[in-house]
Amino acid sequence: MEPPGAARRRPPAMAAPALLTLLLLLLTLALSSASGAPVGEDYVRPPARPRAGQRKALLGLFPWSKKKASASASDPQQVHISLSGEKHMRITWVTDDNSVPSVVDYGTKSNAYTSSSNGESTSYSYLMYSSGKIHHVVIGPLEDNTIYYYRCGGRGSEFQLKTPPSQFPLSLAVVGDLGQTSWTTSTLNHIKQCEYDMLLLPGDLSYADYMQHLWDSFGELVEPLASTRPWMVTQGNHEKERIPFFKSGFQSYNARWKMPYEESGSTSNLYYSFEVAGVHVIMLGSYTDYDESSDQYAWLKSDLANIDRKRTPWLVVLLHVPWYNSNWAHQGEGDSMMSAMEPLLHAAHVDIIISGHVHAYERTERVYKGGVNPCGAVHITIGDGGNREGLARRYLCPPPHC
């Protein structure tokens, strides 16, 4: 599956059928609709019905207060998994009971656990809200392309996960700006129907926007999928939640969605990289420093220098704010980051750059420095997974030549 204008070095032939099956889900997930109506320039999406948890949080007198405890305070809630280095997986969950140990028992047969791993826990307070105990446990080494059964904290329900394959074919679900509406539910149902190995999310997860209840309801919403396949995410503007003089940014996001930044040599959870099958994936931070004197720039330069394209012939980058955007929404917001980092990515022969932020779908030809370039990357905007803000429908006319 080749993007148009491909005239540069290509990955080995074995990689071509795969395009990771990356683009297989992109358009579907970007524009999925519960109504089943045709999608196009004149498509008008029906109003969303907020999910019950979101409605209660929005109408609550104290929207920052702690959510109501579950039936059993020791039961694992909001379970999700992510990669944590080669052949390892991080299991994350929340409990209302602070005495629950951060331990995961696991094995390849149901209720027959042959291994156990201990981890760490954290919690945070945000104005009148106090989180539950947030557990992070790394398990492994694990076999590739294998189903494992696991139990969190020594009690509660059994979960199961499937590890990604070690070689192509590889299927990645990609969705941005997810939120918590009936549109979100439609998108998640589309994903559930697909055979995929991992989900990538380029920012704007819960749309909590300071109301910490919504981080909890988002964790509950995505648990059926996020507990079975790794979810690899990066931050968007809705994860900031910064209050000048009171709260630094990304406190909730960093506590709840720990990614393998340390494993990839990064000093920040806001940018990192990982490898899966024949793909090297870089997750960049649009809302942390990125100029040539920044830690992120230095880390990116080092990470790119250490990539083995024989081992990982595909190089994919995700970030929140698009660099190439013909939609009226968020025009020019990615220009300064593009100016700083595009030359690095171009020199490394990045194949695809995926972003969110703009609530629409768009794909360029191969581009570099603002124009079509046969050696440039294909840019894909995938920013409408179901968030409450709706579609961005207005595009520049005539469209740019990219």
d(CA 373, CA 304): 21
d(CA 340, CA 167): 33
Go through 152-163 and write b for each residue having 16 or more CB atoms within 10 A of its CB, e for each that does not: bbeebeebebbb
pLDDT at 5 over 50: no
Confidence of residue 33 (pLDDT cuts 50, 70, 90): very low
Q: Do domains 73-163 and 165-401 have the same CATH topology?
A: no
Q: Which pLDDT belongs to residue 367?
A: 97
Q: Which neighbouring-strand residues pair with 317?
A: 282, 353
Q: How many C-alpha atoms does 39 have within 13 Å on its Cβ side?
A: 14
Q: What Å distances lie between residue 26 and 129, 176, 263, CA to CA?
A: 36, 10, 28
Residues present in the chain in total: 402
The chain-wide mean pLDDT, for the chain, equals 86
Other beta carbons within 10 angstroms of residue 8's beta carbon come to 12
pLDDT in tens, 322-363: 999 999 889 999 999 999 999 999 999 999 999 999 999 999
What tokens were used for 311?
């081992």
The candidate with the shortest Cα–Cα distance to 182, out of 386, 391, 401, 400, is 386
Q: Which pLDDT belongs to residue 47?
A: 62
Helix 52-59 and helix 213-226, axial crossing angle in degrees, nearest 10: 170
- Average of pLDDT values for 126-145? 97
pLDDT in tens, 89-104: 999 999 999 999 999 9
Report yes or no: 260 and 85 within 8 Å, Cβ to Cβ: yes
pLDDT at 21 over 70: no
Other beta carbons within 10 angstroms of residue 119's beta carbon come to 16
Residue 270 or 69, more confident: 270
Q: Which pLDDT belongs to residue 2?
A: 36
What tokens were used for 394?
């207005």
- Average of pLDDT values for 236-253? 93
Task: Report the relative pairing of strands 377-382 and 361-368 from DSSP bridges.
Answer: antiparallel
Confidence of residue 49 (pLDDT cuts 50, 70, 90): low
Q: Which neighbouring-strand residues pair with 109?
A: 112
List the chain domain ranges.
73-163, 165-401
Catalytic annotation, residues: 330
d(CA 161, CA 55): 31
Homologous superfamily (CATH) of 165-401 is Metallo-dependent phosphatases (3.60.21.10)
User: What topology does CATH give the domain 73-163?
Assistant: Immunoglobulin-like (2.60.40)
Q: Which neighbouring-strand residues pair with 130?
A: 125
pLDDT at 239 over 50: yes
Say what percent of the chain tops pLDDT 70. 82
The candidate with the shortest Cα–Cα distance to 140, out of 90, 88, 83, 105, is 88
What tokens were used for 34?
């519960």
Report yes or no: 388 and 329 within 8 Å, Cβ to Cβ: no
- Average of pLDDT values for 188-214? 95
The candidate with the shortest Cα–Cα distance to 225, out of 203, 196, 245, is 196
Report yes or no: 276 and 22 within 8 Å, Cβ to Cβ: no
Q: Which pLDDT belongs to residue 226?
A: 98
